[in-house]
Amino acid sequence: MSHDPTLSESPRPLSRGDVRTLSLSALGGALEFYDFIIFVYFATVIGQLFFPPDIPEWLRQIQTFGIFAAGYLVRPLGGIVMAHFGDLLGRKRMFTLSILLMALPTLAIGCLPTYQAIGYLAPLALVLLRMLQGAAVGGEVPGAWVFVTEHVQRRHVGLACGTLSAGLAAGILIGSLVAAVMKSHFSAAELAGGAWRIPFLLGGIFGLVAVYLRRWLSETPVFAEMRERRTLAAELPVKTVLRDHLGGVLLAMAVSWMLTAAIVVVMLMTPPLLAAQYAGLDASLANVVAILCLIVGCVIAGWCADRFGSGATLVGWSVLLGASYWLMMSVVGQRPEQLMPLYALAGFAVGITGAIPAIAVKAFPPAVRFSGLSFSYNVAYALFGGFTPIIVTATMRWYPMSPAIYVAALSVMGVAIGLFLLRSPAGRRLAAMPS
């Protein structure tokens, strides 16, 4: 089993090299997540331009969001393939490739002819490009967590993961701000006439800049030592993961499920759900404030995981997440003026997503760490991230508090996992990064 140099060095603060690695990784993650999420903000105009004009509006919406879902469904395959080579050829190579695979399709979407120009080839090309984006983000997120984790000492793993998660959240914020600026400066006709392409062209250019910046990153010390000692995986890494590290897979999938609930339900679905439930209630500005609080929360939650341990942090933050979101959803209908502070608190609680990667990445040894994390995270995200909107939206017809119930249920699961990591010998083994 490989020795992990980040665990044996004498304690030291983050070095200048660590800070550069975290900064460039977070910046690249923000730009890549912007490229993936910007599609959501322009889904309506894309649906009008890339499908036949005479189809029913409901079918157009289903087809448009089906293309969006295609990006999610291909994530496990892209993530597993990229993680396979990341465990065998190097973290840095895949880390750079993932952002290139995101930048080029984003740039291509911005240049893509519409249905009026090339007919059914337009939506087909859009699906293929969206699938490439999904494959890229499937490798980027777990790859980035592994990359920063293996660059810092064990005592800074939580902070490193929290900083990177804050960068990913910043990508969502950039996307929402760019969309707001575009929609305020261009009319609906101007957007449909070609202005919608600007955010995608910007995203592609930003991505290529991030590819260039990642040239300055070095291979992780952990992988470099494994290569030198010739202790890389001797067989298909994902096969080793499923055979020898099933406990780690289940743990990483469970906390990834929590992550999807926090991001998809609390941050992405809540504004349209509130608008549909309470006429005239606009949560868009409150959502921006919540994302800002999420960015801060990610860093603080990651620091707490280092300071107080992953188990204790998961317990405390799970309680905060379930309680704050329940409070917001139960109050804003009668007191809409409370939306801003309550959504800010819930956004801060979603900062649990900064501590979750530190739990998942520690569940696998270095030789199969990328593959184990990528398989667990992407399969969980495809399953739960893909079906959560359908389940929550459908159940709201019978009980309007169903989003809060869903988040609360997973928060209870988070408390249970945190107590398992704190009190069980098996949990303590999973919470300690293997070397």
Domain residue ranges of the chain, discontinuous segments joined by +: 15-232, 235-435
The dihedral through the CA atoms of 302, 307, 309, 314 has a sign that is negative
CATH assignment of 235-435? 1.20.1250.20
Domains 15-232 and 235-435 equal at CATH topology level: yes
| Nearest to 148, CA basis, from 29, 314, 311 | 29
Where do the H-state alpha helices sit in 150-214? 157-185, 188-190, 197-213
Would you say 122 and 59 are in contact if contact means Cβ atoms under 8 Å apart?
no
Alpha-carbon dihedral of residues 110, 379, 418, 162, nearest 10 degrees?
Answer: -30
Determine the pLDDT at residue 6: 45
Contact 138, 70 (CB under 8 A): no
Going by CATH, does the domain composed of 15-232 fall within 1.20.1250.20? yes
Q: What's the whole-model pTM score? A: 0.82
Output the tens digit of pLDDT for each of the chain's 435 residues.
444 444 444 455 566 666 777 777 787 778 877 887 788 778 778 888 888 877 776 676 667 667 766 777 787 888 878 777 777 777 777 777 888 888 899 999 999 999 899 988 998 998 889 888 888 888 778 888 888 888 788 888 899 999 989 988 998 889 888 888 888 899 989 998 999 999 999 989 988 888 887 777 776 666 677 666 655 555 567 788 888 888 899 999 999 999 988 988 898 888 878 877 887 777 888 989 999 999 999 999 999 999 999 999 999 999 999 999 999 999 998 898 899 999 999 999 999 999 999 999 988 888 888 888 888 988 888 888 767 777 787 787 788 898 999 999 999 999 999 999 988 777 777 666 555
Task: Say how far apart CA 84 and CA 79 lie, in whole Å.
Answer: 8
